[in-house]
Amino acid sequence: MPPEAAPSPLPKAYEFHDVEPRWSAAWQEARIFEARMEPGRPAFSMVIPPPNVTGVLHIGHALNNTLQDILVRYKRMDGYNTVWIPGTDHAGIATQNVVERQLAEEGLTRHDLGRERFIERVWQWKARSGGTIIEQLKRLGCSCDWSRERFTMDEGLSRAVREVFVRLYEEGLVYKGDYIINWCPRCHTALADIEVEHEPAEGRLWHIRYPLADGEGHVVVATTRPETLLGDTAVAVHPDDARYRHIVGRRVRLPLLDRLIPVIADPAVDPAFGTGAVKVTPAHDFNDFEMGRRHDLPSVTVLDEDARTTEAAGPYRGLDRYEARRRVLEDLAAAGLLEKEEPHAHAVGGCYRCKTVVEPYLSKQWFVRVGPLAERALRAVREGRTRIVPPSWERTYEEWMTNIRDWCISRQIWWGHRIPAWTCQGCGKVVVARETPERCPSCGGELAQETDVLDTWFSSALWPFSTLGWPDRTPELEVFYPTSVLVTSFDILFFWVARMMMMGLHFMGEVPFRTVYLHALVRDAEGQKMSKSKGNVIDPLTIMERYGTDAVRFTLAAFAAQGRDIKLAEDRIEGYRHFVNKVWNAARLVLANLDGTHPGEPGAAEDLPGLPERWILSRLDAVTREVRSALDAFDFDVAARTLYQFFWHEFCDWYLELAKPAFSGAEPERTASARAAALAVLDRSLRLLHPFMPFVTEELWHHLPGDRGFAAEAPYPEARPEWHDPEAEARIERLQAVVTGIRNARAELGIHPGARIQVLAAPHSETMEALLADQAGAVRALARVERLERLAGGAERPTGAATVILEDVELFIPLEGLVDVGEELRKLDKETAKLERELEKTRAKLANENFLSRAPAEVVAKEREKVTRFEARLAKIAVHRERLAALSG
C-alpha cells in the first residue's frame, strides 16, 4: 500500500527534493514494478541496455532510460503484464583498467597478484563500487523490476555464455584462426570496432618509389604509414586504371629491404587516392588482409604486441613504431626513393579506454562464423518480424549485415568469461566443454585452459533471453520472449542489436524483440557533440539536483523527435521546470475550489450545462487519443508537446479562468459541473503525464479526493467518445479569437494592463452574436473589459478607436484617455532609430570577409539570426506606427 498522503491543502511550492526520494522508496517498498504474469493479459517486456558496471549516469543514459520508462509505465498502467529487466555489463577492458590503476597506486601490477587474486580484487571492487549507476537509475525514476537485476558475470548468465560458446563450437560456427584485428599496444588486447574511437588528425601522405625489378622505371605508392612498408607483400592498382595496366603481373623491389613483390590488380583500390597505386601489407591493414586472401599473398608481421618492430623488419628491428617511421623516411630520402610528402587529413583510431593509437594486427584469435547467422537476422527484418524505428535505419542494418565479417570474440585480458577451451599438453588436442575436464579424453594428458576471455559483446548478445533464465525453459521466457521493444542508441545498431538478433534467432528460434527504437544523440545547444575537453557536458545528476528529475525527463522526451539529434540547453530544462510548477499550482487551484466535495466524472457532453465544460472535456478526449497514438508510434516528442500544450494553455490559461466564476457561483448545477470537469481533467492529466513526470504526478495523485492506490498503477486514460463535442470546440475557438484579439490590441497600443477598457462589437453572424451574449462575462474577465456593447448593424463605426477584424466580428476599442498617440509615436521612432543602427552594424560585420573566414560558424550564424530578428521587429513597428498614425487623423 502507498504511504499516507501528504497533508492537505497542498503546500504553496513543489519541493522536489523532498518528494522524489519519498516516492522512489515507496514504489520499491511496495514492489509495484515487479513482473506481472497474470493469465489473460497481454505482455510487454524490455531489457535495459546494460550500462558498464564502471559507469555513472550521463545524459545519453538519461535519455535512453527515460524513454524506456515512459513506455513501461504506460503499458503497466494500461493493464499489461510488464517486466523491465535491469542490469549491468562487466565491461572487461574498462573494469580491468580501473582495478589496474588502483594497483598502480600501490606499486603493483596484476602480474604481481596473479590471475586468481586479481580476479578476486575485481569482484571486491564490483561489490563496493559497481552499483553506482543502478542507484542513479533509480533516482531517475526508472520503474525496473529491481528484484531481477542481472550482471553479465553472474552465475546464471555465465552458464548461458558457456552453453552458447560450446554449442556454436559443436556446430562449426566458432573456430580459432589467424585474422586481422584491432590491437591496443598498451592494454595488450584485441578490441571490438566500437571500442576504437576515431578522431580526425592532420597527418602526412608520403609518396614512395618502388623500383620495377627489371630496372625499367618505378611505380610511386602513396601511404600514411611508411613504417609498415617493411611488411609489404604486393603493390596493388585498380584493374581499370589505364596508367598501370602495363605493369600488372610484373614485380617491384621493396624499398630498403630489396625483396621482390608482385604488382596485382584489385577492384578494392581507389584510383583517386594518392597516385592510384597502393602498398599491400596483409598483416597490418584490414583492407590489405582481405586483398591478401583474395590473391594468396603471404603475411609478414613487422610490428609486435608492443607496436615495436620484429625480426622481420631486418635492420629496423627492435624500434618503436614511430622511431621506425623516422628511420625509414630518413633512409628512403637518402636512397632517393622518397618522392614527396604532403599534408593529409585522416581519422586515427585510439583505444576507447587508454587512448593509445590502435594497430591493425594479425594474430591467432577465436571467431564466430557469422555468415549463416547474419542471413537469418537480415531476413527477419526484411519480413517485418522485427521493425526498426525510424525505418531509415533499416538500410544501414541491411548494408552491415550483407557485408559482415567474422566476429573476433577473444580478448587478451583477465576479467571476463574465460573461454571454455583446453589444449592437451601431450597430444595437442583442443577440448571445448560445458564442464571443466580433468584430463585429455584422447590421451589422458594434462590440459591447459585458454587464457583469453570472451568479448564483452558476446555475453551481452544473449541479454534478451539469458536474463529471462535461458538455457532453462522458464515461465518468464514463455511469457516475455520475444521482448516487446529495445530502446537504444543508433550507434550500436550493428555492434549490439545485430548480434542480439543473430543469437536470439539461432538459440530461441525467434527474434529477440519485436521493435527496435533507435534514439538520436544528445548534443549541446549549438549542436556539438558533448565532451569534457569542450566543457559542454550536461551532467544529468547536476541538473536533476537543480531543476528536479521530472523537468529533466520531460525535456528529454519533448525533444526526442525521431531521426533528429537533441540540442539540449539548460534554459530548456528550466522552462520545463516551470511546467512542473504549473501542474502543481493548477492542482492547488482545483483542489481549493472543490470545497471539500468529491464530484464524480461528468456524464455526456450534451448533459453539461456550461460551454467551457463541454469544450475542455472534448479537448481532453482528443488529447487522450493523440497521446496514446503518439506513444504507440514512439513519437515521444509529439506526446509530450501535446500534453504540455493542453495542460498549460487550454486547461490552465483558458478553462480554469473560464471556470472561476462557476466554482463559487450562485448556480449549484453549474458549480457542480465545473468542479466535476476540473477534477476530471486534473485526474486524467496526472495519469497521462505520469510516465513522463512520475514524481510530481504521484504526489498530486494522493491529494485528490477518494481512496487511491499508486498513480503508477492507476489505469492509463482512454478516450471518452461521449465527451466529443466539435460544436463546443468551435464556439470556444471563436471566443478565444475575440479575447486574444483584444489582448493583442492592448499590448500593441501600450494600454496599461490594469486599465479597464470599453469594447464595441459588430458581429457578422448569428452564431457570434449568440456567443458574445452568452459569454460576455468571460470576455470582460479575460480581456479586462469594463463594458462590452453590441454595435448595431447600421451604426457608424467609431472614430479614434483601434479596430480588431476577425472572421465574423469587428471589435472597436475607443482610445480616448487610454493612449497618448503622440507620445507612443515618439517612442516607436526612438526604438526604430536604435534598431536601424544595430542592424547596420550587424550587416557591416557580415559583409566583412575577414570576419566570415575567421569567426566560428556558430558565431556567424548568430549574427545572421540578429539580422532576421532586427528586420522582423522593424517590420512590426512599422505596422504598429501606421495604425497609430491613422488613429491620430
Annotated binding residues for ATP: 532
Residues in the annotated binding site = 532
Is 813 in a helix, a strand, or coil?
strand
Pairing status of strand 218-223 against strand 234-237: unpaired
DSSP state of 645: I
- DSSP 8-state symbol, 193: G
Q: CA angle, 748 as apex, 745 and 749 as ends, to 5°? A: 80
The residue among 402, 407, 443, 405 whose CA lies nearest residue 424 is: 443
Q: Nearest CA to 863 among 838, 837, 830, 835?
A: 838
Find where cell 448533459 sits: 607
Q: Which three cell numbers stand for residue 659?
A: 471556470
- Helix/strand/coil for 150: strand
The closest of 156, 149, 92, 150 to 119, measured between CA atoms, is: 92
C-alpha cell of residue 563:
531521426
- Rounded-to-integer distance, Cα 375 and Cα 356, Å: 35
Give the helix/strand (H/E) hosting 176: strand 174-184
Residue 817 CB contacts under 8 Å (≥ 6 apart), including other chains: none
Phi (first) and psi of residue 466, to 5 degrees = -70, -30
Residue pair 454/161 in contact by the 8 Å Cβ criterion: yes
Tell me how far apart the alpha carbons of residues 412 and 410 are, in angstroms, rounded to a whole number.
7
The distance from CA 873 to its chain's CA centroid, rounded to whole angstroms, is 37
Cell numbers 536533476: residue: 544
| Residue type present at position 252 | V
Report the alpha-carbon distance of residue 424 to residue 441 in Å, rounded: 9
All three cell numbers of 243, joined, read 596508367
Given the DSSP bridges, would you call strands 483-489 and 513-519 parallel, antiparallel or unpaired? parallel
User: Cell numbers 570577409 correspond to what residue?
Assistant: 849
Q: How far is CA 616 from CA 280, 605, 642, in A?
A: 73, 10, 14
Neighbouring CB atoms inside 10 A of 655's CB total 25
In 3D, which of 73, 237, 220 has the Cα closest to residue 143?
A: 73
> Strand, coil or helix: what is 364?
strand
Pull the grid cell for residue 767: 452564431
| List of residues 6+ apart from 239 with CB closer than 8 A | 248, 265, 266, 267
In angstroms, the CA 426 to CA 444 distance is 8
- What one-character-per-residue DSSP string does 454-470 give? E-HHHHHTTHHHHTTTT
Residues 612 and 779: their CA atoms lie apart, in Å, by 13
Residue type, 860: V
d(CA 283, CA 262): 17
Q: How far apart are CA 79 and CA 611, in angstroms?
A: 34
Provide DSSP, 762-808: EESSHHHHHHHHHSHHHHHHHHTEEEEEEPPTTSPPPSSEEEEE-SS
Gap between the Cα atoms of 48 and 50, Å rounded: 6
Rounded CA-CA distance 59/791 in Å is: 59
